[in-house]
Amino acid sequence: MEHTDFHGRARSGKGIVFSGVRRYIIVPTRSISYWSVVMKSYFRPEIDAMAGYVPGEQPKMANLVKLNTNENPYPASPRVREVIAGFDHAKLRRYPEPMADTLRDEIAGVLGVKRENIIAGNGSDDILTMTFRAFTAPDRPLACLDPTYSLYFELAKMQGAPVIRIGLDPEDFSMPENLLEQAADANLLIITRPNAPTGNSFDRERMRDICRKFDGIVFFDEAYADFAEDNCMEFATEFDNVIVSRTFSKSYSLAGLRLGYAVGNPEVIGGLFKLKDSYNLDMLTQEIGRAAFADRDYLRECCEQVKTTRAYLDAELKKIGFRVVPSQTNFLFAAPPDEDGGNYFRRLREQAIIVRYFPGEVTGRYVRITIGTPEEMDHLLDVTRAIYGK
Protein backbone atom coordinates (compact mmCIF):
# COMPACT_ATOMS: atom_id res chain seq x y z
CA MET A 1 0.00 0.00 0.00
CA GLU A 2 1.29 3.50 -0.85
CA HIS A 3 0.49 6.69 1.06
CA THR A 4 1.31 10.33 0.37
CA ASP A 5 1.88 13.01 3.00
CA PHE A 6 0.76 16.63 2.63
CA HIS A 7 4.00 17.52 0.86
CA GLY A 8 3.33 15.01 -1.88
CA ARG A 9 6.12 12.58 -0.98
CA ALA A 10 5.19 8.96 -1.45
CA ARG A 11 5.67 6.58 1.46
CA SER A 12 5.44 2.87 0.84
CA GLY A 13 4.88 0.07 3.28
CA LYS A 14 2.14 -1.65 5.18
CA GLY A 15 0.52 1.64 6.10
CA ILE A 16 0.93 1.60 9.86
CA VAL A 17 2.75 4.96 10.20
CA PHE A 18 4.08 7.55 7.79
CA SER A 19 5.43 11.01 8.41
CA GLY A 20 6.17 14.39 6.93
CA VAL A 21 5.99 17.61 8.88
CA ARG A 22 3.24 15.90 10.88
CA ARG A 23 2.90 12.25 11.76
CA TYR A 24 -0.19 10.22 10.99
CA ILE A 25 -1.38 6.83 12.07
CA ILE A 26 -3.38 4.64 9.71
CA VAL A 27 -5.99 2.76 11.70
CA PRO A 28 -8.60 0.24 10.53
CA THR A 29 -12.29 1.03 10.87
CA ARG A 30 -14.96 -1.57 11.54
CA SER A 31 -14.49 -2.94 8.05
CA ILE A 32 -10.95 -3.95 7.16
CA SER A 33 -11.61 -2.58 3.69
CA TYR A 34 -11.56 1.01 4.99
CA TRP A 35 -8.83 2.91 6.77
CA SER A 36 -8.85 6.18 8.70
CA VAL A 37 -6.06 8.73 9.03
CA VAL A 38 -5.63 10.05 12.58
CA MET A 39 -3.13 12.83 13.28
CA LYS A 40 -0.75 12.05 16.11
CA SER A 41 -0.88 14.68 18.83
CA TYR A 42 2.30 16.34 20.06
CA PHE A 43 0.49 18.11 22.88
CA ARG A 44 0.68 17.10 26.49
CA PRO A 45 -2.37 14.99 27.43
CA GLU A 46 -3.56 17.80 29.71
CA ILE A 47 -3.73 20.19 26.75
CA ASP A 48 -5.53 17.69 24.54
CA ALA A 49 -8.14 17.27 27.27
CA MET A 50 -8.80 21.02 27.60
CA ALA A 51 -11.70 22.81 25.97
CA GLY A 52 -10.09 26.21 26.57
CA TYR A 53 -11.65 29.30 28.11
CA VAL A 54 -14.50 30.85 26.14
CA PRO A 55 -14.50 34.66 26.56
CA GLY A 56 -17.68 36.69 26.56
CA GLU A 57 -19.17 37.32 23.14
CA GLN A 58 -18.16 40.46 21.25
CA PRO A 59 -21.04 40.59 18.75
CA LYS A 60 -21.36 42.81 15.70
CA MET A 61 -25.00 43.90 15.70
CA ALA A 62 -26.78 47.10 14.73
CA ASN A 63 -28.13 49.21 17.62
CA LEU A 64 -26.55 46.82 20.10
CA VAL A 65 -26.99 47.19 23.86
CA LYS A 66 -24.00 45.23 25.11
CA LEU A 67 -24.42 44.07 28.71
CA ASN A 68 -22.55 40.75 28.71
CA THR A 69 -18.89 41.28 29.63
CA ASN A 70 -18.96 43.71 32.60
CA GLU A 71 -17.34 46.57 30.75
CA ASN A 72 -17.66 50.05 32.23
CA PRO A 73 -20.33 52.20 30.56
CA TYR A 74 -18.22 55.33 31.02
CA PRO A 75 -14.96 56.29 29.27
CA ALA A 76 -11.57 56.11 30.93
CA SER A 77 -10.14 59.07 32.82
CA PRO A 78 -9.53 62.23 30.74
CA ARG A 79 -5.89 61.84 31.72
CA VAL A 80 -5.77 58.73 29.55
CA ARG A 81 -6.77 60.77 26.52
CA GLU A 82 -4.02 63.26 27.36
CA VAL A 83 -1.39 60.51 27.54
CA ILE A 84 -2.43 59.07 24.19
CA ALA A 85 -2.53 62.48 22.51
CA GLY A 86 0.90 63.42 23.84
CA PHE A 87 2.67 60.08 23.40
CA ASP A 88 5.88 60.27 21.35
CA HIS A 89 5.66 57.34 18.94
CA ALA A 90 9.42 57.50 18.39
CA LYS A 91 9.86 56.00 21.88
CA LEU A 92 8.38 52.74 20.64
CA ARG A 93 11.72 51.76 19.14
CA ARG A 94 12.87 51.12 22.71
CA TYR A 95 11.79 48.27 24.98
CA PRO A 96 9.49 49.20 27.87
CA GLU A 97 10.43 48.99 31.52
CA PRO A 98 10.67 45.21 32.04
CA MET A 99 9.39 45.34 35.63
CA ALA A 100 7.00 48.30 35.13
CA ASP A 101 8.75 50.04 38.03
CA THR A 102 7.25 53.50 37.48
CA LEU A 103 3.73 52.08 37.35
CA ARG A 104 4.39 49.90 40.38
CA ASP A 105 5.65 52.94 42.30
CA GLU A 106 2.43 54.81 41.50
CA ILE A 107 0.31 51.90 42.73
CA ALA A 108 2.49 51.40 45.81
CA GLY A 109 2.16 55.05 46.77
CA VAL A 110 -1.63 54.92 46.74
CA LEU A 111 -1.86 51.57 48.54
CA GLY A 112 0.79 52.41 51.12
CA VAL A 113 3.05 49.48 50.27
CA LYS A 114 6.47 49.08 48.66
CA ARG A 115 7.31 48.43 45.03
CA GLU A 116 8.54 44.98 46.03
CA ASN A 117 4.99 44.09 47.10
CA ILE A 118 3.59 44.55 43.58
CA ILE A 119 3.71 42.77 40.23
CA ALA A 120 1.95 44.08 37.13
CA GLY A 121 0.59 41.93 34.33
CA ASN A 122 -1.08 41.87 30.95
CA GLY A 123 -4.51 41.90 32.58
CA SER A 124 -5.22 40.11 35.83
CA ASP A 125 -5.50 36.91 33.76
CA ASP A 126 -1.74 37.18 33.24
CA ILE A 127 -1.33 37.33 37.02
CA LEU A 128 -3.55 34.27 37.35
CA THR A 129 -1.48 32.34 34.81
CA MET A 130 1.72 33.08 36.75
CA THR A 131 0.01 32.06 39.98
CA PHE A 132 -1.19 28.73 38.61
CA ARG A 133 2.24 27.97 37.16
CA ALA A 134 3.79 28.74 40.54
CA PHE A 135 1.44 26.97 42.93
CA THR A 136 -0.47 24.18 41.16
CA ALA A 137 0.65 20.81 39.79
CA PRO A 138 -0.63 17.23 39.68
CA ASP A 139 0.26 16.90 43.37
CA ARG A 140 -0.70 20.48 44.30
CA PRO A 141 -4.48 20.93 43.95
CA LEU A 142 -6.50 24.09 43.46
CA ALA A 143 -9.51 24.86 45.63
CA CYS A 144 -12.05 27.41 44.46
CA LEU A 145 -15.70 28.31 44.76
CA ASP A 146 -18.42 26.99 42.47
CA PRO A 147 -19.83 28.79 40.57
CA THR A 148 -16.98 31.20 39.93
CA TYR A 149 -14.73 32.52 37.16
CA SER A 150 -14.44 29.61 34.74
CA LEU A 151 -10.89 30.48 33.65
CA TYR A 152 -9.61 28.93 36.89
CA PHE A 153 -10.66 25.46 35.80
CA GLU A 154 -8.87 25.75 32.46
CA LEU A 155 -5.67 27.02 34.08
CA ALA A 156 -5.78 24.07 36.50
CA LYS A 157 -6.17 21.65 33.58
CA MET A 158 -3.15 23.26 31.92
CA GLN A 159 -1.09 22.36 34.98
CA GLY A 160 -2.63 18.91 35.36
CA ALA A 161 -3.78 20.01 38.80
CA PRO A 162 -6.78 18.49 40.59
CA VAL A 163 -9.59 20.94 41.39
CA ILE A 164 -11.52 20.95 44.66
CA ARG A 165 -14.83 22.65 43.87
CA ILE A 166 -16.40 24.21 46.95
CA GLY A 167 -20.08 24.63 46.19
CA LEU A 168 -21.87 27.80 47.22
CA ASP A 169 -25.38 27.59 48.60
CA PRO A 170 -27.70 27.14 45.58
CA GLU A 171 -30.22 29.64 46.95
CA ASP A 172 -28.19 32.61 48.20
CA PHE A 173 -24.65 31.67 47.02
CA SER A 174 -23.22 31.97 50.52
CA MET A 175 -20.00 30.22 51.45
CA PRO A 176 -20.18 26.87 53.28
CA GLU A 177 -19.15 26.79 56.92
CA ASN A 178 -16.69 23.95 56.30
CA LEU A 179 -14.77 25.68 53.50
CA LEU A 180 -11.42 25.21 55.22
CA GLU A 181 -12.13 21.52 55.75
CA GLN A 182 -13.02 21.07 52.08
CA ALA A 183 -9.93 23.00 50.92
CA ALA A 184 -7.50 21.29 53.31
CA ASP A 185 -5.62 19.32 50.62
CA ALA A 186 -5.17 22.30 48.27
CA ASN A 187 -1.99 24.30 47.79
CA LEU A 188 -3.83 27.26 46.25
CA LEU A 189 -7.21 28.60 47.41
CA ILE A 190 -8.82 31.21 45.16
CA ILE A 191 -11.64 33.34 46.52
CA THR A 192 -13.28 35.67 44.02
CA ARG A 193 -14.54 38.54 46.15
CA PRO A 194 -16.99 39.85 45.14
CA ASN A 195 -17.78 36.64 43.32
CA ALA A 196 -18.44 36.23 39.62
CA PRO A 197 -20.88 35.47 38.14
CA THR A 198 -23.07 35.79 41.25
CA GLY A 199 -22.00 39.30 42.34
CA ASN A 200 -22.23 38.69 46.09
CA SER A 201 -19.42 39.12 48.58
CA PHE A 202 -18.36 37.31 51.76
CA ASP A 203 -17.76 38.47 55.32
CA ARG A 204 -14.40 40.19 55.57
CA GLU A 205 -13.50 38.93 59.04
CA ARG A 206 -14.20 35.40 57.93
CA MET A 207 -11.77 35.97 55.06
CA ARG A 208 -9.14 37.04 57.57
CA ASP A 209 -9.72 33.86 59.55
CA ILE A 210 -9.30 31.77 56.37
CA CYS A 211 -5.99 33.50 55.63
CA ARG A 212 -4.79 32.76 59.13
CA LYS A 213 -5.72 29.07 59.07
CA PHE A 214 -5.21 27.91 55.47
CA ASP A 215 -1.92 26.07 54.91
CA GLY A 216 -1.22 27.33 51.41
CA ILE A 217 -1.60 30.39 49.19
CA VAL A 218 -4.86 32.34 49.50
CA PHE A 219 -5.52 34.33 46.33
CA PHE A 220 -8.22 37.00 46.40
CA ASP A 221 -9.40 37.88 42.91
CA GLU A 222 -10.73 41.40 43.49
CA ALA A 223 -11.61 42.36 39.92
CA TYR A 224 -14.78 44.09 41.19
CA ALA A 225 -13.54 45.44 44.52
CA ASP A 226 -13.94 49.11 43.57
CA PHE A 227 -17.72 48.58 43.38
CA ALA A 228 -17.87 46.84 46.77
CA GLU A 229 -18.35 48.00 50.35
CA ASP A 230 -14.94 46.69 51.44
CA ASN A 231 -11.97 44.67 50.24
CA CYS A 232 -9.16 42.42 51.43
CA MET A 233 -6.18 44.40 50.16
CA GLU A 234 -4.64 44.85 53.61
CA PHE A 235 -4.41 41.06 54.00
CA ALA A 236 -1.74 41.05 51.28
CA THR A 237 0.72 42.61 53.71
CA GLU A 238 -0.79 41.26 56.92
CA PHE A 239 -0.21 37.61 55.91
CA ASP A 240 2.75 36.01 54.15
CA ASN A 241 0.55 33.57 52.21
CA VAL A 242 -1.92 36.03 50.65
CA ILE A 243 -2.05 37.52 47.15
CA VAL A 244 -4.66 40.11 46.15
CA SER A 245 -5.17 40.88 42.47
CA ARG A 246 -6.90 43.80 40.78
CA THR A 247 -7.67 44.73 37.19
CA PHE A 248 -7.96 47.96 35.20
CA SER A 249 -10.66 46.42 32.98
CA LYS A 250 -13.71 47.23 35.10
CA SER A 251 -13.55 50.29 37.32
CA TYR A 252 -10.88 52.07 35.24
CA SER A 253 -12.72 51.49 31.92
CA LEU A 254 -9.62 49.99 30.28
CA ALA A 255 -10.78 46.50 29.27
CA GLY A 256 -9.31 47.04 25.81
CA LEU A 257 -5.86 47.80 27.22
CA ARG A 258 -5.16 44.63 29.29
CA LEU A 259 -3.60 45.66 32.58
CA GLY A 260 -3.73 44.19 36.07
CA TYR A 261 -1.62 43.89 39.20
CA ALA A 262 -1.23 41.85 42.34
CA VAL A 263 -0.01 42.65 45.85
CA GLY A 264 1.63 40.28 48.29
CA ASN A 265 4.63 39.38 50.41
CA PRO A 266 7.88 40.37 48.60
CA GLU A 267 9.09 36.76 48.55
CA VAL A 268 5.86 35.55 46.98
CA ILE A 269 5.83 38.40 44.46
CA GLY A 270 9.51 37.72 43.72
CA GLY A 271 8.62 34.13 42.88
CA LEU A 272 5.94 35.28 40.45
CA PHE A 273 8.47 37.55 38.72
CA LYS A 274 10.41 34.42 37.77
CA LEU A 275 7.41 33.33 35.71
CA LYS A 276 6.38 36.52 33.93
CA ASP A 277 7.16 37.18 30.28
CA SER A 278 10.29 39.23 29.70
CA TYR A 279 8.38 42.39 28.67
CA ASN A 280 4.80 41.59 29.57
CA LEU A 281 3.56 45.22 29.54
CA ASP A 282 4.13 47.52 26.60
CA MET A 283 5.27 51.11 27.06
CA LEU A 284 1.97 52.80 26.21
CA THR A 285 -0.01 50.52 28.54
CA GLN A 286 2.30 51.40 31.41
CA GLU A 287 1.92 55.15 30.83
CA ILE A 288 -1.85 54.97 30.41
CA GLY A 289 -2.19 52.77 33.47
CA ARG A 290 -0.19 55.16 35.59
CA ALA A 291 -2.32 58.12 34.53
CA ALA A 292 -5.60 56.28 35.10
CA PHE A 293 -4.58 55.00 38.50
CA ALA A 294 -3.52 58.46 39.65
CA ASP A 295 -6.94 59.98 38.90
CA ARG A 296 -8.63 58.82 42.11
CA ASP A 297 -11.45 61.36 41.96
CA TYR A 298 -12.57 60.19 38.53
CA LEU A 299 -12.42 56.55 39.66
CA ARG A 300 -14.69 57.27 42.64
CA GLU A 301 -17.11 59.29 40.50
CA CYS A 302 -17.54 56.52 37.92
CA CYS A 303 -17.93 53.81 40.56
CA GLU A 304 -20.59 55.82 42.38
CA GLN A 305 -22.51 56.28 39.14
CA VAL A 306 -22.40 52.55 38.49
CA LYS A 307 -23.53 51.73 42.04
CA THR A 308 -26.44 54.19 41.80
CA THR A 309 -27.59 52.64 38.52
CA ARG A 310 -27.12 49.15 39.99
CA ALA A 311 -29.48 49.95 42.87
CA TYR A 312 -32.06 51.33 40.44
CA LEU A 313 -31.95 48.27 38.18
CA ASP A 314 -32.10 45.93 41.19
CA ALA A 315 -35.27 47.60 42.48
CA GLU A 316 -37.00 47.72 39.08
CA LEU A 317 -36.27 44.09 38.25
CA LYS A 318 -37.73 43.02 41.59
CA LYS A 319 -40.93 44.89 40.74
CA ILE A 320 -41.23 42.73 37.61
CA GLY A 321 -40.82 39.58 39.71
CA PHE A 322 -37.10 38.87 39.32
CA ARG A 323 -35.01 37.33 42.08
CA VAL A 324 -31.79 39.35 42.29
CA VAL A 325 -28.65 38.30 44.16
CA PRO A 326 -27.36 41.22 46.31
CA SER A 327 -24.50 42.62 44.25
CA GLN A 328 -21.28 44.42 45.11
CA THR A 329 -20.06 44.43 41.50
CA ASN A 330 -20.87 46.23 38.25
CA PHE A 331 -23.44 43.58 37.30
CA LEU A 332 -26.53 41.83 38.60
CA PHE A 333 -27.15 38.09 38.68
CA ALA A 334 -30.89 37.91 38.26
CA ALA A 335 -33.47 35.14 37.81
CA PRO A 336 -36.60 36.02 35.79
CA PRO A 337 -40.08 35.23 37.16
CA ASP A 338 -40.19 31.82 35.43
CA GLU A 339 -36.55 31.09 36.41
CA ASP A 340 -35.73 30.28 32.78
CA GLY A 341 -32.55 32.27 32.24
CA GLY A 342 -31.98 30.77 28.80
CA ASN A 343 -35.34 31.93 27.46
CA TYR A 344 -34.85 35.45 28.84
CA PHE A 345 -31.37 35.56 27.31
CA ARG A 346 -32.74 34.59 23.89
CA ARG A 347 -35.69 37.00 24.05
CA LEU A 348 -33.36 39.90 24.88
CA ARG A 349 -31.03 38.93 22.05
CA GLU A 350 -33.92 39.17 19.61
CA GLN A 351 -34.08 42.84 20.62
CA ALA A 352 -30.29 43.36 20.21
CA ILE A 353 -29.71 43.31 23.98
CA ILE A 354 -26.86 40.96 24.91
CA VAL A 355 -26.49 39.64 28.47
CA ARG A 356 -24.51 36.62 29.72
CA TYR A 357 -26.11 33.23 30.27
CA PHE A 358 -24.44 30.38 32.15
CA PRO A 359 -26.12 27.01 31.50
CA GLY A 360 -26.43 24.74 34.53
CA GLU A 361 -28.89 23.37 37.04
CA VAL A 362 -28.46 26.41 39.30
CA THR A 363 -26.86 29.10 37.13
CA GLY A 364 -29.27 28.37 34.27
CA ARG A 365 -32.06 30.03 36.24
CA TYR A 366 -30.24 33.36 35.99
CA VAL A 367 -28.63 35.79 33.59
CA ARG A 368 -25.80 38.16 34.38
CA ILE A 369 -26.55 41.76 33.42
CA THR A 370 -23.75 44.32 33.20
CA ILE A 371 -24.66 47.73 34.60
CA GLY A 372 -24.82 50.12 31.65
CA THR A 373 -25.85 53.73 31.35
CA PRO A 374 -29.20 54.78 32.83
CA GLU A 375 -30.58 54.97 29.29
CA GLU A 376 -29.46 51.41 28.53
CA MET A 377 -31.03 50.16 31.75
CA ASP A 378 -34.34 51.86 30.94
CA HIS A 379 -34.36 50.23 27.49
CA LEU A 380 -33.58 46.84 29.06
CA LEU A 381 -36.44 47.31 31.54
CA ASP A 382 -38.91 48.33 28.83
CA VAL A 383 -38.12 45.19 26.83
CA THR A 384 -38.24 43.03 29.97
CA ARG A 385 -41.65 44.38 30.99
CA ALA A 386 -42.95 43.57 27.52
CA ILE A 387 -41.57 40.01 27.73
CA TYR A 388 -43.23 39.29 31.08
CA GLY A 389 -46.38 41.35 30.56
CA LYS A 390 -45.68 43.81 33.36
pLDDT (tens digit, 9 = 90+) per residue, 290-344?
999 999 999 999 999 999 999 999 999 999 999 999 999 999 999 999 999 999 9
CA distance 309 to 366: 20
pLDDT, position 62: 80
Residues 125, 260 contacting (CB under 8 angstroms):
yes
Question: What percent of the chain is helix, strand and coil (3-state, nearest 5)?
Answer: 40, 20, 45
Instruction: Taking residues 375-381, report their average pLDDT.
Output: 98
pLDDT (tens digit, 9 = 90+) per residue, 268-278?
999 999 999 99
CA distance 145 to 140: 17
Residues 6+ apart with CB under 8 A from 120: 100, 103, 104, 107, 259, 260, 261, 280, 281, 286, 289
pLDDT, position 38: 67
Determine how many CB atoms are found less than 10 A away from the CB of residue 358: 19
More confident residue, 36 or 373: 373
User: Nearest 5°: phi and psi at 235?
Assistant: -65, -25
Nearest to 173 by CA among 27, 333, 17: 333
Nearest to 389 by CA among 320, 317, 339: 320
Give this prediction's pTM. Answer: 0.89
| pLDDT over threshold 80, residue 37 | no
Question: E strands of 238-358, at which residues?
Answer: 242-247, 260-264, 323-324, 331-335, 353-354
pLDDT (tens digit, 9 = 90+) per residue, 19-30?
444 555 555 555
pLDDT, position 28: 59
pLDDT, position 18: 42
More confident residue, 64 or 9: 64
Instruction: Taking residues 117-140, report their average pLDDT.
Output: 98
Please measure the distance between the N-terminal and C-terminal CA atoms of the chain and give it in whole angstroms.
72
